[in-house]
A and B are shown apart, each in its own frame.
Chain A
Amino acid sequence: MSHWIIAPVILPALVGAAIMLFMRNDLLLQRVFSLASTLALTAIAAALLWAATLHPPEVYFLGNWPAPFGIVLVLDRLSALMVMLTALLAVAIQLYAIGSDWDARGRHFHALFQFQLMGISGAFLTGDAFNLFVFFEVLLIASYGLMIHGGGKDRLRAGVQYVAFNLVGSSLFLFALATIYAVTGTLNIADLAVKAQTLPEGDDALFRVAAVMLMLVFAVKGALVPLQFWLPATYANAPGPVAALFAVMTKIGAYAAIRFGVMVIPPSTPATGTLIADLMMPAAIATLIIGAIGVLGASTLGRLAAFAAIASMGTAFIAISAFTPAATAAALYYIVHSTLAGAALFLIADLVADRRAHDRLDQALPPIQNSGLIAGLFMASAIATAGMPPLSGFFGKLLVMDALRDQAALVWSVILITSLVVILGFARAGSTLFWKAHAAAPLEGPRHEPQGLAFTATFGLLAGLVALTVFAGPVMAWMEATALSLHDPAAYIAANQLPQVK
């Protein structure tokens, strides 16, 4: 199995480069190869998930250099889960992009898409903090290209903001990594997890600064208040399928916060203590509140979906900041759910925007084509996002609340009230888009050819949510085992075969 660990990085890298070099003028060939590559990635991810479930964490030593000195990739349950989620999401989004002809509105969509997948897979699989930075940059530079795909004034200007914000984030990441290296002398995650527990007395303060800077970087990626400013303009102006793919990008922030917050510097660490949790919890609650208010007040459907993504990150980070196995398991379930639900919402927003003159929510326009079908899809994804029964959002929020019983007064009231606000926001948007439309004067617009593939992709994401609901029991059992392995990382550390210091 061991060589397959690097396949999710190599495969998109090779296919992306091949598309750039040999197929740059043939869209059909690009589509075939890109889709085949994504499907192959899904198969590899499924095999890796299977292996990670049955076996303890497995390490791939790049260049066969031993662990703290060389770069390692580590396949454990968490990384396998996230790669699987990325691959499934990518298949749906690629089908949508092909079905809606988004990939024909600019050049190099498929090549950038493959490089984006390479960066995301690498960020999930790497076991080295500096290598995590490098993969962050790989996925970011691909996302810059995807973000401005199709061009246009607003998109380019939002893109400049997005790039500038992320460059600041990258600089902060480097400051944090250099400080960590200066204090501990290592950047291997497993080695860090060991050394963070036994720091010499005088290094505590420096390490605390580095840990907080590192968490700030992940908060930028995860759009945690007060570092969420880049998200609404970016997601609302990005092409629909790209915004849907970005649904997994915020989750990389959550993943990294779990990886470092739970494994490397848990609240039991003498140097940092509960510092991270104490900072993260209020920020997460503020994120949830601002996201919910944003959903209620959004002026366009794209911004509504963006603020729904912020709200979902708030809920996920509330669960993460508890740093208990039950809460981590709930966070993982909620992360999987909110990735699928958020992506579906962005695709539906694109379906609407494509059929309307614009996607503003403050005025009713005549009924759009396929209005009934799209309204049904919107309703289903709104139910999932707001966390109403019967879909998985309800289970996700229930699990998060159940795991945080001891802080019920604050956390429960915030989650429940914001859920109500989000429901109101979605009801307002839905009624403007689909009900008030019938009162407006009918208008003969250009007819769309049916986009079966685009609808299939959206249905596919919703089917994923249904599956997550139906199999909530087994999935949660799996998540709990994953959370336990994160809270007791002995197996992860052992897999790295670190040399014993005498």
Chain B
Amino acid sequence: MELLVASALGLLTSAGVYLMLRQRTFPVIVGLTLLSYAVNVFIFTAGRLTVNLPPIIDKYANGYTDPLPQALVLTAIVISFGMTAVLVMMALGAYLEAGHDKVDMNDTDETPKGGAK
């Protein structure tokens, strides 16, 4: 199971990093999403991998799994979900204003920076 989880994590992370290095906003956002999935699973494994053990007190339990990473991962999921939503909205705004969705800023025309109101 360790091998499976570890290689899934590695695959998610490398795919995420590859997509993040693309030039368009859409692959970048998908890459960030994949990376945040990888992070969430990784936090889960910080409490050690166990099978069929409850995180909260149970009369019939043989043992327990660490409940804290599960709480942490909930927080992380909510935050990364919200952040991705913000990024999608901003990327959409930038696309509608600029007419294209390139990520780098070098190709901008000669409009003065900082003076834009």
Partner of A167, one of B32, B46, B72, B94: B32
Among B74-111, those with CB < 8 Å from A are 75-76, 79-80, 82-84, 86-87, 90-91, 93-94, 97-98, 103, 105, 108, 111
B51 sits at the interface (CB 8 A): no
CB atoms of B98 and A156 under 8 A apart: yes
Contact between A171 and B36 (Cβ–Cβ < 8 Å)?
A: yes
Contact indicator per residue, chain B 33-55, by CB within 8 Å of chain A (1) or not (0):
00110110011011110000000
- Indicate whether A300 reaches chain B with its CB closer than 8 angstroms: yes
Tell me the minimal C-beta distance from B69 to chain A in angstroms: 7
> Which of A27-35, A354-362, A472-480 binds B?
A354-362
Shortest CB-to-CB span from B59 to chain A, Å, is: 23
In the assembled complex, the CB of B27 is this many whole angstroms from the nearest CB of chain A, namely: 11
In the assembled complex, the CB of B43 is this many whole angstroms from the nearest CB of chain A, namely 4
Chain B residue nearest in CB terms to A134: B75
Select which of B82, B103, B116 is within 8 A of A160 by beta carbon. Answer: B103
A170 within 8 Å of B (CB atoms): yes
- Asked if A164 and B116 sit within 8 Å, CB to CB, the answer is no
Number of A positions contacting B (CB below 8 A): 47
Among the interface residues B47, B75, B103, B112, which one has the most CB atoms of the partner chain A within 10 A? Answer: B112
* B32, B45, B103, B112: the one within 8 Å of A168 (CB): B32
**A181 an interface residue at 8 Å Cβ cutoff?**
yes
Tell me the nearest residue of chain A to B35, going by C-beta: A171
The complex places the Cα of A168 from the Cα of B79 at a distance, in Å, of 13
Query: For A155, A157, A179, which residue has the most chain B Cβ atoms within 10 angstroms?
Result: A157
Question: Quick one: which of B28, B42, B94 contacts A178, CB cutoff 8 A?
Answer: B42
Render A156-168 as a binary contact track against B, CB cut-off 8 A, 1 for contact. Answer: 1111110110011
Task: For the complex, count residues of B whose C-beta is within 8 A of A.
Answer: 43
Q: Judging by beta carbons under 8 Å apart, are A141 and B43 in contact? A: no
Complex: chain A residue closest to B82, CB-CB: A141
Majority secondary structure, B binding face? helix
For A301, list chain B residues within 8 Å (CB).
114
Main secondary structure of the interface of A (DSSP, over half): helix
B105–chain A nearest beta-carbon distance, Å: 6
The answer to whether A153 and B116 have CB atoms under 8 Å apart is yes
Residue of chain B at shortest CB distance from A238: B114
Evaluate whether A168 and B46 lie within 8 angstroms (CB atoms) in the complex, with A144-B90, A160-B91, A174-B76 already known. Answer: no
Provide the residues of chain B in CB contact with A148, threshold 8 Å. Answer: 90, 93
Q: Does A24 contact B (CB under 8 A)?
A: no
Pair A358/B114 contact, Cβ less than 8 Å: yes
Q: Do residues B116 and A154 form an inter-chain contact, with CB atoms below 8 A? A: yes
Q: Which of A175, A233, A358 contacts B105 (CB 8 A)?
A: A233
- Across the interface, which residues of B come within 8 angstroms of A171, CB to CB? 32, 35-36, 38-39, 80
C-beta contact mask, A120-157 vs B, less than 8 Å → 1, else 0? 00000000001000100100110010001011111111
Query: Which listed residue, B43, B83, B94, touches A170 by the CB 8 Å rule?
Result: B83
Q: Judging by beta carbons under 8 Å apart, are B114 and A302 in contact?
A: yes
Interface presence of B68 (CB below 8 A): yes
Residue A182 lies at the interface, judged by CB distance under 8 Å to chain B: yes
- Give A430 Cβ to nearest chain B Cβ, in Å: 17
Q: Is A152 touching B105 in the complex (CB atoms < 8 A)?
A: no
Q: How far is the CB of A51 from chain B (nearest CB, A)?
A: 30
List A347-401 residues whose CB lies under 8 Å from chain B. 349, 353, 356-360
CB <8 Å contact, A300 and B116: no
- Residue of B45, B93, B112 near A358 (CB, 8 A) is B112
Q: Judge if A249 is at the interface, Cβ distance under 8 Å.
A: no
Return the chain A residue nearest B68 by Cβ: A181
- A349-B114 contact, Cβ under 8 Å, with A164-B20, A171-B35: yes
Q: Knowing A154-B108, A181-B68, A358-B112, say if A167 contacts B83 (CB, 8 Å).
A: yes
A154, B42: Cβ atoms under 8 Å? no
Contact between A159 and B83, CB atoms less than 8 A apart: no
A210 to chain B, nearest CB (A): 10
* B binding-site residues for A, Cβ under 8 Å: 20, 25, 28-29, 32, 35-36, 38-39, 42-43, 45-48, 68-69, 72, 75-76, 79-80, 82-84, 86-87, 90-91, 93-94, 97-98, 103, 105, 108, 111-117
* 22 cross-chain CB contacts under 8 A: A134-B75, A141-B82, A144-B90, A148-B90, A154-B108, A156-B93, A156-B98, A159-B90, A160-B94, A161-B105, A167-B32, A167-B84, A168-B20, A168-B35, A177-B72, A178-B43, A181-B69, A182-B46, A182-B48, A236-B114, A302-B114, A303-B114
Beyond A152-B116, A154-B116, 6 additional contacts (C-beta under 8 Å) are A148-B90, A150-B117, A167-B36, A168-B32, A177-B43, A178-B46
Cβ-closest 3 pairs across A and B:
A358-B112, A302-B114, A156-B94
